Amino acid sequence: MATPKKARQRSLLQFLALLIAVVIIIVAAVLAQGWWNNRPAPEPQDVTVTARVGDASLEVSPYLVCEPGLECPEGEVPNLPVGPDDTLVLEIPQAIHDHDWQLLMIYDDPAANDQQLHGAYDAEQVEIPGSVDSPTEGAERPRLMVVEISSAMIGLDADGEETPYATVWSLSTMAD
């Protein structure tokens, strides 16, 4: 049988071990949260949007990335054909949908063109029909031609300083 003095020492050691474990867990949680909040965001030119039509899928890189007010070199516009009865699905990554962004849909009838403005966390995915009802009586259903996503993003300039960038992803949906 343990003496009362040894029992108190054992209880004290258990309490100290528990206290040290709690302190270590709290410090680890604070450090992990600090790292998570301060981790670098991807550069605007590295952010891609996934476009899908049926089984076909395509990663769309930015068409334009530049500081506002400067001349923008244009990139390539990829093509993913979307039939009149198909639906184009765009998967918007968190680097875009965690703040305001906009979607522009251009049809072969300018009266059918549409623009959607999205706030932060409004949508992670957007579905766009390959054709829409004609705004003009008796006309053919306008076909989707081009889709553009626009967002202001933060990136690093040539000096390593954070700066805003106008970023546009563009996708042609017409059959070749």
Q: Whole-model pTM?
A: 0.76
Q: What is the pLDDT of residue 39?
A: 66
Cα 34–19–26 angle (5° rounding)? 10
Residue type, 4: P
| Predicted pLDDT at 176 | 63
What span, in angstroms and rounded, lies between the C-alpha atoms of 91 and 47? Answer: 12
The C-alpha torsion from 100 through 106 and 112 to 117, rounded to 10°, is 0
Give the per-residue pLDDT at 1. 57
Which mean pLDDT values do the consecutive 10-residue runs of the chain (176 residues) have?
A: 79 91 93 78 90 95 90 90 94 94 94 94 94 79 95 87 92 86
Q: What type of residue sits at position 75? A: G
Domain residue ranges in the chain: 1-39, 44-172
Cα distances (Å, whole numbers) of residue 61 to 51, 83, 99, 147: 11, 22, 19, 13
